[in-house]
Structure 1
Amino acid sequence: MSRSGVKRVLVVVPHVQAGERLLDILPALESDMRIQVMISTPETGYRWSGIEEYVRRLDGLVIPWHQAVSTRFDVVLAACHWGLAELDGPVVLMPHGVGSLGSRIGYDGDADRHNLHRDHLMLGDDVIPTVLALATDEERAVLGEACAEALPGAVVAGDPSFDRMLAGLPYRDVYREALGAEPGQRIVLVSSTWSKHSLFGADPAIFARLAEELPRPEYLVVAVLHPFVWHAYSRRQVLAWLARAREAGLVVLPPEEGWRAALAAADVAVGDLGSVLQYAVGLGVPTVMSTCSLAGVRPGSPAEMVSRIAVPLRLDRPLAPQVSRAGPPADAERERVVRTITGRPGQALSLLRGTCYALLGLDQPSHGVPVSPASLPEPIR
C-alpha cells in the first residue's frame, strides 16, 4: 500500500437505485486524501442481472463480498438493508427512494408494514444501522413507535436526490435539448415502477399508446422504467418490447440516471405508485396517476397522497384527453407532498457529510460541498 492511516469507507450496492442514491453522497467524502472508498455488492440471494457491470462502470475499487465481510471499515454507506448485518463497521443507512416509510404494500399483504419496522433494522437485540438517515421529522415519530431501539441513531437529513432535482431546475432548457425536445414541444415523462400494480405491469402497451395518441409535433414522450424491470428482463428484452413505441417517437432513458433531469424538464408526468410521481408533485409538475396502481398502495402513504392530487388515469379509455387535463398542483398540495419528501430541504448533503465525518473521527474540510444539479440525461439511442 502507498499510504497508511487512511480511513476506509465501504459503499454497499445491491441494486442500481441504491447505488445512484449513494453517488449523491460520495462527492462529499471521496476527494478527501484521508479517505479511501471501496464498493461491494452483497450476496444475499437477490443477485440482479447486470449489477456487476454497473458497479464496474463506477470506476471505483470493487471488492468481493467475502472480502468486505472480513474487513473492518470506518464507515459503511448503504441505501438498502440487504447484507448489512454481516459487515464490521458503523453503518449509515438511508432510503433509496422517497423516504424510509415507502408506499408499497408488502409481499405479505400487511398494509401497515413499512421500512422502519424492526425486522428491517434489527438482528436479534442489536440495531444494525449506527445511523439511520431519515427524510422527515414525521418518520422519526413513526420510528419511535415501530422500533424505539433505533431512535438514538436517527438523524433527520432530508433527501439528497430531491435537492439535486431542485438544483437542476434552472437548467430546464439544457435538459430539454438533451432529450431532443423542439421549442414549444411538451415533454410527457412516463414512469413505471415494478410489480403487477405498476403502470407497465397493468398495461405493457402503455408507452406505445401514449407515443401514438399524443401528436408528435406537440408532445415528446419520455420513458423511465424502474431498474428492477431492466434487470429482471434485460436491456435487450425491454428495448424489444418498446420497439413499437420507439418507432412512434418514444425517448427511453437508461435505468441508471437521467430521470431526475427529465422531471425538471417535464411538462406532465404520468406514472404509478413509484417515487418518480411523488417527486414530480414536489417539483410542481402536473401529474397523472394510474388507478390500477392504487391496489398496491399502503394507506396513508405518500403515493396515496399523490393519488388525491393527480388526474386519475383510466387505462381502458383514450389516454390523450386524460393527459391534457393535468394541471400543476396547488401550492398547498405541493407543500404537503414536499413535507413527505424532505424535512431539511437543501441540507441533505451537508448533514450527511457531517454525520459521516463524526463517525470517521475526522474534522470536516473547510471547503463546502455544493449540491450538484441532476446529471444531463443521455437517452438510449
Structure 2
Amino acid sequence: MPALARRRSRARSARSARRWRTMRTERTVLAIVHNVAAATRLLDILPIVASDPRIRVVFSCPSSSPFTRGTDEYLRRRGVALTPWRQALAMPADLAIAASCGPNLRKVRAPLVVVPHGMGHNKIMQPDGRTGPSTGGAVHGLSAPYLMWGGTVIPDLIVLSHEEQRDRLRRDCPRAVDATLVAGDPSFDRLVASVPLREGYRQAMGVTAGQRLVLVSSTWSDRSLVGEVFGLVGRLAGQLPIDGYRIAVALHPAAIAHDHRWAYEQWLDECTGKGVLLLPEPDLWGQALVASSLVVGDYGSVTFYGAALGTPFLLASHPAGTVDPASPIGRLLEAAPRLDPDADLLAECARAIDEHDPARYEAITKLTTSHPGEAAGRLRAALYGLLDLPEPDEPAFSDAALPIRRCRLPPPRALLVTAAVTERRDGRLVTSVRREQFGRSGGFDGHLVVDVDAPGVRHLALAEIVVHRRAEDAERWIAEIFRELPRCPLAAARERDGTWLVGGSDGWLVEVDHRSEDGAVFASAVHAWLCLGEPIHELPGKLTVRLGGGEVVTASARVR
C-alpha cells in the first residue's frame, strides 16, 4: 500500500474510533502481549497509567511467541479484548509497552517501552529459541538479537530493575545502554507489600496453623524442574505427612501453553489425589510464594523471588549453561542448597526450613532491585514523560498488596488415620489424630478415610469413613451412602451452613458445630470413641482433636 494510502487509512481508523467512544481520552497506550507470562507482568504495571481517565489502553498480541496459546483466553477472563495485530500497528498510539522484545517490534510506530517479564534478565537463549548451552547463545532481553535491528536499537526505553543489568547490557549490547532506565521491580515491591497478609493467603489456600506449605516451582524447558525431575512432586506428596505439610505446584505459563493445562492435570492426577494443588491461574504464584514455608525450585524467577523474600529454598534442578553466570540467578544457582530427590525428603525439607539463614544469600538477593518500593513512581514518571502528560496529583505507590483469592488445596482422596482417645472428663473428649497418605507405609494400624471427590473403587471398598464436603442434603446423603456401601460403618458430610454431620450405619447422627473444611477429623474422633466400646449416645458434647502437626481443633457435638 502506498504511503499516502496508509496515512489515509490510519486517519479513517482514528476518526472511526473517536466516533464510537464513550470516554474522551487524550492518549492511547498500546499494550503488546506476547504470551501469558508477559500478560501477568503487564497487568502488574499497566494500572500505573490505566487508572487515569485521560489514557486509553489497547491490548494486542503479535502471535510471534511459541507460547502464544492461551493468551487470548487469559486476558478475556480479566475483561480484556485483544485488537488484531495488524489493526493495532495501523492505529494511532502515543506509547507502546511490551514485556518482551524482538525484531517484530521494529514495526511499532509509537515510542516503545520494554520491561522485563521476570526477575531481571537471566536466561541464555539459543538462536532456535531454546534455553541452554551451545554456541551462539545470548542473554534474553540484554543482547543485540533481541534489542536491535539493522544497527538500530528497537526500544525507546529499556526498563531494568537493577544497575547490574545495565552493566551486563554494556557488556553485550553497549549501543542500547543510553536507552535504559533503572526503575526497580514492581512485582517484587508487591510481594514485599503482601508479606503482612501471609496468613490470609494461607487460609485462602486451606493451609492450617500446623502445616507448612511447600511451593514446587518450575520454569519451562526440558531442563527445568518438571523437565528433569517430574517424579519429584509425587515423591514429595508421598513422603511429607499431610498433618505437617501441604504442597502447591506453580508452573511457568510457557509450559502450560506448550502442552495444555489438561495434560498437566492428567500427569499430576495421582499427586492431586494426595492433596497437591496445581495452581489454577498463572498469576497466583505470588500469593502462593508469600504463603509458603519452603520453595523447591529451579532457575526460574519464582525461586529467586522466594530467596529475596527470605523464604527457605532448595534447588531441585540446576543445569549448567541455562542462565548467564554473571546474573543474580546464575550466582544464586552456585550458592543455593541442593535437594537430593532420592534422599529422605521429609528430612531434607525440615532441615532446609529449620536451618535457613537469609543473610547467607543477601549479597545476591539484594540484586533484585536498586530501588526497593519505588518502582511504580519511577516508572510512572518515565511513562508520563513519553506521553507528554502531567502526572496525576496522587503519588504512585508500589505497595499494592496482592489480592487474597480463594484457591483451595484439594483434600487427599484417601488417608490412613490413627485416632486414640487421650483424655475424657468434664464432658470433653480429647483425641489424638495422625493422618498419612494411603499406601505410604506398610502395617499401618488405623482406619481408611475416603473423600467422594473422584475416589478409587478400591478405596471405597476398604473405607471405614466416607466424606462428602459439598453435600446439598447431608442427612439424605449419609443415609444413601450406607445403602450403597453396606460395609462402611461411618460417614461424614458438610452441611450447607458449613457445619458437619457424622452418621453411623445403624442410623445415629452426630451434629458437629465446626465450620472448616477439615471437620472430617471429628469423624475420626467419633471412630476412636466407638472403638473403646462406648455407646454413641454417651459421646461427650465437647470434642478436641490434636493433629499430628501440632494443630488443635475443637467443636461442640450433639447426638440425635
Q: Aligned match of 2:107 in 44, 63, 86?
A: 86
Q: Give the superposition deviation at 1:61.
A: 4.5
The one-letter code sitting in structure 2 at the alignment partner of 1:307 is: L
Given the alignment of the two structures, is residue 178 of structure 1 paired with residue 213 of structure 2, yes or no? no
CA contact (8 A) 1:168 1:264 kept: yes
Q: Give the superposition deviation at 1:264.
A: 1.0
Q: Give the distance between the partners of 1:150 and 1:190, measured in 2 at CA.
A: 36
Structure of higher RCO (CA pairs closer than 8 Å, 6+ residues apart): 1
Q: Give the superposition deviation at 1:46.
A: 2.8
Q: Give the distance between the partners of 2:135 and 2:42, measured in 1 at CA.
A: 29
CA contact (8 A) 2:297 2:317 kept: no
The one-letter code sitting in structure 2 at the alignment partner of 1:85 is: R
2:139: which partner in 1?
A: 114
CA contact (8 A) 1:258 1:378 kept: no
CA contact (8 A) 1:162 1:279 kept: yes
**Which one has the bigger strand percentage?**
2
1:189-237, Cα deviation, whole Å (9 max, x unpaired) = 1111111211111122222211111000000111101111111111211
Aligned length: 380
Q: Aligned match of 2:186 in 135, 155, 160?
A: 160
Q: Map of 1:1-381 to 2, 5 A cutoff?
A: 1=18, 2=21, 6-44=26-64, 46=66, 48-82=68-102, 83-100=104-121, 102-104=122-124, 106=126, 107=130, 109-110=134-135, 113-115=138-140, 116-294=142-320, 296-327=322-353, 329-370=356-397, 371-379=399-407
Q: Give the distance between the partners of 1:280 and 1:186, measured in 2 at CA.
A: 15
> Which deviates the most, 325-334 or 237-246?
325-334
Residues 153 and 88 from structure 1, CA distance in 2 versus in 1: closer, same or farther, beyond 3 angstroms? Answer: same
Give the match's secondary structure for 1:365: coil
2:436: which partner in 1?
A: none
TM-score between the two structures when normalised by the length of structure 1: 0.93
Q: Give the superposition deviation at 1:299.
A: 2.2
Instruction: Determine which structure has more spread, i.e. the larger CA radius of gyration.
Output: 2
Give the match's secondary structure for 1:357: helix
Q: Give the distance between the partners of 1:307 and 1:51, measured in 2 at CA.
A: 31
Identity over aligned pairs, percent: 35
CA contact (8 A) 1:354 1:364 kept: yes
> Which deviates the most, 319-328 or 292-301?
292-301
Residues 283 and 303 from structure 1, CA distance in 2 versus in 1: closer, same or farther, beyond 3 angstroms? Answer: same
Q: Give the superposition deviation at 1:43.
A: 2.7
CA contact (8 A) 2:24 2:54 kept: no
Q: Give the superposition deviation at 1:292.
A: 4.6
Unaligned runs of 5+ in 1: none
The one-letter code sitting in structure 1 at the alignment partner of 2:197 is: Y
CA contact (8 A) 1:9 1:37 kept: yes
The one-letter code sitting in structure 2 at the alignment partner of 1:260 is: G
Q: Give the superposition deviation at 1:278.
A: 0.5
1:63-101, Cα deviation, whole Å (9 max, x unpaired) = 10011121231111111114322211011101101112x
CA contact (8 A) 1:11 1:39 kept: yes
2:527: which partner in 1?
A: none
